[in-house]
Amino acid sequence: MHGKTIVESQRVSKRFGDFTAVDGVDYSIFEGEAAGIIGPNGAGKSTFFNLITGLYHPSEGVIRFSGRDVTRLSADQRVGMGMVRTFQLVSVFDSLPVMDNLVLAVVRASPDFVHKSRLMVGSAHPKHVRAACEEALTRVQLEQKAGFMTSELSYGDKRMLEIAMALALKPKLLLLDEPLAGLSDVEINQVLSLVRKVSEELTVVIIEHKISYLVGLVSRLSVMHEGRFIAEGRPQDVLCDLTVRRVYWGEHDPACDAPAASPE
């Protein structure tokens, strides 16, 4: 059973010149769920994420967050409402210490620091900001590296830092764009473990190319192709959908013919 709708897109499209990247998409995200979005390269997944989070404005259509029309609101305004995302490529400042990356993320989103000039007076590390940052670092098990220069971290630790920066903002909705990209098997397992814990506390939506890892991570899987969603449902059912099989692999999987296990 679905909970309350937290994000809704209605007939959302995005065109770049003559190219339509997202084509009339209706999509809902439900409070408390862990949802996954997959699709071949160029399917429109990241563009759709950018529309939801405000990096792009749609050519047409409406986007609502917590019941409010946010179609024309900026990404910063949506962050202030509790919508936070990560990116395909890790987005951190190598030239800053780990803790300062978190502080900067929290301060930038805080209504107390609307004017940049305020960063030049007083402390940029007030107690409540530092407490939120320390809590986030502990959640991703980087608390021992708070004073390290970010450039000294492994790529996997940088990914964990980026997620910590998102968590420090206390989001209602966390959107992760290919969080496993570029990671080793050990690092993938660390990120998966973290995402499982996070998804117990807040709404999470994940774009990911490593499809097999999503099956046990999300309760609902949606497939994009050529700017539209072509399938949605339980992960295993979706992966056995004939259209999805053809789009991804061009063949049917005999394992999909096995009878489903009886519910206990």
Tell me how crowded residue 206 is: count the other CB atoms within 10 A of its CB. 24
- Residue ending a domain, choose from 107, 142, 168: 168
Together in a domain, 162 and 198? no
Together in a domain, 103 and 71? no
- Residue ending a domain, choose from 168, 183, 209: 168
Q: Would you say 252 and 67 are in contact if contact means Cβ atoms under 8 Å apart? A: no
Q: What is the pLDDT of residue 77?
A: 93
Q: What is the pLDDT of residue 262?
A: 36
- Residue ending a domain, choose from 110, 139, 168: 168
Q: What percent of the chain shows pLDDT beyond 90?
A: 72
CATH number of the domain where residue 35 is located? 3.40.50.300
Report pLDDT digits (tens) over 156-203.
999 999 999 999 999 999 999 999 999 999 999 999 999 999 999 999
Radius of gyration of the chain (CA): 19
Together in a domain, 161 and 101? yes
Together in a domain, 223 and 186? yes
Between strands 34-38 and 220-225, the pairing is parallel
Q: What count of Cα atoms within 13 Å lies in the side-chain half-sphere of residue 155?
A: 13
Separation between Cα atoms, residue 124 and residue 22, nearest integer Å: 40
Q: SS in 3 state form for the chain?
A: CCCCEEEEEEEEEEEECCEEEEEEEEEEEECCCEEEEECCCCCCHHHHHHHHHCCCCCCEEEEEECCEECCCCCHHHHHHHCEEECCCCCCCCCCCEHHHHHHHHHHHHCHHHCCHHHHHCCCCCCHHHHHHHHHHHHHCCCHHHCCCEHHHCCHHHHHHHHHHHHHCCCCCEEEEECCCCCCCHHHHHHHHHHHHHHHCCCEEEEECCCHHHHHCCCCEEEEEECCEEEEEECHHHHHCCHHHHHHHCCCCCHHHHCCCCCCC
Together in a domain, 153 and 39? no
206 pLDDT tier (thresholds 50, 70, 90): very high
Q: What percent of the chain shows pLDDT beyond 70?
A: 88
Q: What is the pTM of this model?
A: 0.86
Average pLDDT over residues 47-58: 96
pLDDT of 41 strictly over 60 = yes
- 161: containing domain: 91-168
Together in a domain, 182 and 68? yes
Query: In total, how many domains does the chain have?
Result: 2
More confident residue, 85 or 110: 85
Report pLDDT digits (tens) over 88-144.
778 889 999 999 999 988 887 665 554 444 543 445 556 788 888 999 999 999 999
Together in a domain, 105 and 233? no
Together in a domain, 210 and 237? yes
Together in a domain, 201 and 96? no
